[in-house]
Amino acid sequence: MVDARGLSCPVPVVMVQKAVNAEKPNELEVLVDAMVCVENITRYASSQGYTVDVKEVDGGEFLMTLKKA
């Protein structure tokens, strides 16, 4: 789980990039609190072969689930 709440881009994308490179996970959950982070992480994840499912939780926070395609 990557918790990037309260952080501005590009920091959340870098955190996800580090987790993907270090762990090569088949599935990774990411928690963010800005739609721009959702968009940027989705773009990065797609470029790495992940599908992305986004659910809004706790009003304004988003739980992203990245799955290796």
What CATH number should be reported for the domain holding residue 19?
A: 3.30.110.40
pLDDT for res 32: 98
Domains identified in the chain, total number: 1
- Please give the mean pLDDT across all residues of the chain: 96
Its domain, for residue 28, covers: 2-68
pLDDT in tens, 13-41: 999 999 999 999 999 999 999 999 999 99
pTM: 0.95
Given the structure tokens 């762990």, which residue do they identify?
Answer: 23
For residue 6, report the phi and psi dihedrals to the nearest 5 degrees. Answer: 85, 0
- Total number of residues shown for the chain: 69
Among 2, 9, 31, 52, the one annotated catalytic: 9
> Is 37 an active-site residue?
no
Please give the full DSSP string across the chain, using - where no structure is assigned.
Answer: -EE-TT--TTHHHHHHHHHHHHH--SEEEEEES-HHHHHHHHHHHHHTTEEEEEEEETTTEEEEEEEE-
